[in-house]
Amino acid sequence: MNYMVLRYSFAAAVFMAFAAGTYAQVCADGVCTMEAEGGKPLSGEIFNVVCPAGQASVEPIVQAPRLESLEGKTIALVGGSFMASVTHPELKRLILEEYPSAKVYVLGEIGAAGVFPGPGIRRRSVEEFQARLKELGVDAVVSGNGGCGLCTPKEAGSAIAAEYIGIPSVTIAGPGFAEQVAVTAANNGVAVARVAVYPGAFASHSTDELLENTRNVLWPRIREALTVPVADSERRSPEIHAHANPEAVVFSGGIDEVNSYFSEMGWSDGLPVVPPTMERINEFLRYGGLEADTPVAVLPVAYRNTLAVHVAACGVMSGCLPEYMPVLVAMTKALGSPDFRRTLSSTHAWNPFCWLNGPLARQLGIDCGQGGISEEANVRLGRFMNLALKNLAGYYVKQDRMGTFGYLMPWCLAEDEAACSRIGWSPYHVMQGYAPDDNTVTVASALMWGNNMAPSSENPEVVAELMAWDISERCQFALGSGRQYTYRTILMTEPVAQILKKVYPDKDLLEDELASKARRPLRERAYAGYHANPGSRIDPSAFPFRMYEKRIARTEGAEITPCPQWYAAPDGCQGTEIMTVPVMKPGMTATIITGDSARNKVQIMPGGGYSTVRIELPPDWDALIQEAGYEPLETFHVR
């Protein structure tokens, strides 16, 4: 039984324990209930719950048969991730040694497709790759190497693109990424994705180990993957648990049984959930002004048709209040943005979070003060994001979210717009073109939390300098070994902003100043990229450090500049000039005024991009919300 079938079996594993004791599971017409021994119902309240996940929108394609032999065939070895420069040439040698009449293209000779796009989306790289395969008469594609959460979907994308035009494929992946290949393919309509699993972490193996494993492990698996006929047991479905009728009751039981069932079905995050009954869901729908079957979004990575009932179900489960529904709908729409979700599967664990702007946040009591993300309302919204990523978008740990050490629970905060008004700076949503009284939610991701900086100076230039130092130290990935530039979210308390306002009239001018000051020594940047490269290991014999340093200088705009002030200590580089590279550029930073207004704190979080969506309120919002005991929305406008 494959992993997906095992995971989403009809709660069998959990309820075997009940069946062995005093309880048994009884299923009829697709609805399961728990009954005491002898047919008596469970004591306590019984909850009739619905499924919180939508159905997949991608139909499986008909795949071509595997090849009878590789003799005389044209094979493309594509990709380029994780030591492919070592494995792929060796694979070419092995193929030609065993099949002399074969023809093999390697790496840059043919290109790659990249991440396969969603349904109905055209991507030039995919179309060009498929055209090239046809032009060269390619009979089979081998793509690799999948050794990280972001590169694995990229390498699987070439294999998926090949399968779509009838060319058998196999993807090379490390042990922890084979499941990601299979699920990525299934989500994109390829029910059978063959994977050749490499025995270990590519970049931690020596060249000799890579070659030996390519010969003795990879090559036999690749040959088998391309030539052994497909068995029915290999076929994967992205969804076998979503109900066709979104309002149908899928389970009835007590609170503990509901939680056990949801855990087994993969619908919970491991913490207890509030049972999503239609009675509770209808309250959410009322505050959203929506029908149960109102379409909200088709969310990657599973491309599920998400309806209002699914959003409301996740809201119920997370403990949100019904009046949060407009926020939840907007947040769901924001989750589908490529700018936001591009990094979610990374092993580096970009952690999702969000913030709210506009009077609705204040009306609902979303906190923007001390301890903000830990306040109840904020926690509930953060948990909704966690459940939505699983049930609405299809992200699962060890399947599509590959964080090496895992992820924090997503969090939510709000910008302190009253503080913005006192300072004279525009809140974030106004800087994005929204009106001050518009309500928005922005989703983003961060590579760290905590470890904030407390500037103990009233000099704006010094505070900006300290922030630039912090930025130069906190680049993408530890040591700044990733991309030169990254998105950053800057959380800042009002006292710090008041100091900076003396010199920087708005947030954009502050960002410009930080971008000009945030530089790091060329050698430091090169050393991090050379010895802590997040992908393939660099071979010193083929590419010495000095050559790499020169390449960084050329490609990243290195210049001779005065030594950064923070290095100008008595034993530092005071009074000298050194070669530095910029680490920040304007347009990639969100500055949010929030947090304890009695504390001088700045928190700078490198991470992924942003997605901002307007929160739409139903026409009768004021009547609904006042019925629930809230003050009118206009009460919370900042003037």
DSSP assignment of 320-364: --GGGHHHHHHHHHHHT-HHHHTTTT-TT-PEEEEEEESHHHHHH
Which residue's entry shows tokens 């504390």?
599
Same domain for 229 and 91? yes
Contact status, residue 525 vs residue 552, Cβ threshold 8 Å? yes
Same domain for 516 and 546? yes
Q: What is the mean pLDDT of residues 626-633?
A: 94
Distance, in Å, from the CA atom of 545 to the CA atom of 69, rounded to the nearest integer, reads: 44
Distance, in Å, from the CA atom of 307 to the CA atom of 472, rounded to the nearest integer, reads: 43
Query: What is the token pair recorded at 218?
Result: 């990879």
pLDDT greater than 60 at residue 19: no
Q: To which H or E segment does residue 184 belong? A: helix 178-187
| Total count of domains within the chain | 3
Domain of 101, CATH number, reads 3.40.50.2300
Convert the pLDDT of each residue in 74-108 to its tens digit.
999 999 899 999 999 999 999 999 999 999 999 88
Split at pLDDT 50, 70, 90, the class of 26 is: low
Which residue's entry shows tokens 């001018």?
509
Same domain for 207 and 117? yes
Same domain for 430 and 347? yes
Convert the pLDDT of each residue in 576-589 to its tens digit.
889 999 999 999 99
pLDDT greater than 70 at residue 479: yes
Residue 425 within any structural domain of the chain: yes
Convert the pLDDT of each residue in 424-473 to its tens digit.
999 999 999 999 999 999 999 999 888 999 999 999 999 999 999 999 98
Residue environment code for 407-429, b if the CB has 16+ CB neighbours within 10 A, otherwise e: bbebbbbbbbbbbbebbebbbbb
Contact status, residue 73 vs residue 169, Cβ threshold 8 Å? no
Percent of the chain scoring above 90 in pLDDT: 75
Residue 69 within any structural domain of the chain: no
Residue 252 within any structural domain of the chain: yes
Distance, in Å, from the CA atom of 284 to the CA atom of 513, rounded to the nearest integer, reads: 45
Contact status, residue 512 vs residue 586, Cβ threshold 8 Å? yes
Same domain for 135 and 230? yes
**Bridge partner residues of 590 (DSSP):** 489
Residue 585 within any structural domain of the chain: yes
214 alpha carbon, distance to own chain's centre = 31
380 alpha carbon, distance to own chain's centre = 20
Q: Which of 207, 234, 261 is the last residue of a domain?
A: 234
Same domain for 346 and 268? yes
> Which residues form the domain of 627?
3-56+240-440+613-636
Residue 63 within any structural domain of the chain: no
pLDDT greater than 70 at residue 340: yes
**What is the residue type of 109?**
E
Which residue's entry shows tokens 């000009």?
516
